[in-house]
Structure 1
Amino acid sequence: MTQSVPPPSEGNPFAQQPPVGAPGAAQPTDGNPFAQQPGATLPPPVPAAPARNNLALGLVVAVAVALVSAGIYGAIVGATEYEIGYAAVGVGFVIGFAAGRIGGTNPVLPVVSALLSLGAVYLGQLIGIAMIGADELGVSATSLFTEHFDVLTEGWSETADAMTFLFLGIGAFAAFSGAKKGAL
């Protein structure tokens, strides 16, 4: 004897239901205030990242990158005891690229990036001189940098030559062009 299966009906809790979200399917609203109601529209998505073309944020990022890259450049100069031109190019480019990427196409950013690059390369050279002088004098580079900053600047001006100013200029040019490329 075979048993027949009764057709799906409203009284059968095991009856096949259309998937949720399919046309004709009941929308789940059982106490969920966030359930999608028929005919409702979704709110616009919230941006995950800060908007581009934000001049103030671009300037803040450029200053932060300038300080970090100056420290890295100073560590390179202090460790090698040489001014490395490619490092100055890198300092300038990364400052300009970060400013352009965040700040967008504002024409102020390449100029400010170039000026920040001049300051970062100069500061990096002073950090390098402080590291070299600290090794020779047997003191910490931090105390030499903070307590005898005037001696460092005098030492920089006495040892500055055409290559020093060339590196400053190359860094500024790289920052200017990096800001233009980052804004694209």
Structure 2
Amino acid sequence: MSQPVPPPNQPQHPQDGNPYAGQQPAAPTGNPFAGQQPGPYGQPGQPGVQFGGGTPFAPVAPARDNVGLGILAAVVAAVVAGAVYGAIIGATKHDIGYAAVGVGFVVGFASGKVGGRNPALPVLSAVFALIAVYFGQLLGEAMIVAKDYPVTVSELFFDHFGALNEVWKADSNFISYLFFAVAAVAAFSGAKKAAE
């Protein structure tokens, strides 16, 4: 008896019904991903995945531990926030506690956001917040005095600073000094929170 001859279009030895079992692999092209189809996340060649598959990784965030930039940010924030605080006092003729908290928080937040987690930044932020509140109160006092006397705010600051400071001391009370403490605490906590 003779064996049946398979048709010419079918492979001679199909393995488990796989029609491609007898084919030769394509010649290598030097590209390890040649011929791969895009697959689900986690397959080689996909963005955010280590070479050859494996665990996905996130890009490394740049280290934020620059004390110099943190101090610069605190100084700029202190100047701006102190000026705004002084303008509020000058316009309302009252110290406003929420504004002092805002000054402290803005100074601390700017310092921590730019400078990072350096342990010196919250302390320095508290110091700059104290200075900002002091000059803000002086600016407010100068604006109030300038409304009543024929003198400008800049003349009070640069020509009569001692007299302006004496007027500020005379008008200060326990609440004025409490605003200093509140601003320092807000700056310290703001720097810590921003650095997280």
8 Å contact kept, 2:108–2:187 = yes
Matched, 1:160 2:172: yes
Residue type matched to 1:72 in 2?
V
| Deviation (angstroms), 1:136 | 0.5
Identity across the alignment (%): 54
Q: 2-side partners of 1:182 and 1:86: how far apart?
A: 20
Normalising by structure 2, report the TM-score.
Answer: 0.68
Match of 1:105 among 112, 117, 126: 117
Alignment root-mean-square deviation, CA: 1.8
Residue type matched to 2:158 in 1?
T
Aligned to 2:130: 118
Matched, 1:71 2:76: no
Residue type matched to 2:118 in 1?
N
Partner deviation per Cα, 1:88-144 (whole Å, 9 max, x = no partner): 000000000000001111110010000111110000000000000000002211111
Aligned to 1:93: 105
Residue type matched to 2:121 in 1?
L
The 5-angstrom pairing of residues 16-31 of structure 1 reads none
Q: Which structure is higher in helix share? A: 1
The 5-angstrom pairing of residues 104-183 of structure 1 reads 104-183=116-195
Residue type matched to 1:162 in 2?
F
Q: 2-side partners of 1:145 and 1:103: how far apart?
A: 31
| Deviation (angstroms), 1:51 | 5.4
Residue type matched to 1:62 in 2?
A
Aligned length: 139
Q: 2-side partners of 1:82 and 1:54: how far apart?
A: 37
Matched, 1:56 2:60: no
**5+ long unaligned stretches in structure 2:** 1-33, 36-61
Residue type matched to 1:136 in 2?
D
**5+ long unaligned stretches in structure 1:** 1-22, 25-49
Q: 2-side partners of 1:162 and 1:155: how far apart?
A: 16
Partner deviation per Cα, 1:65-92 (whole Å, 9 max, x = no partner): 1011111100000010000000000000
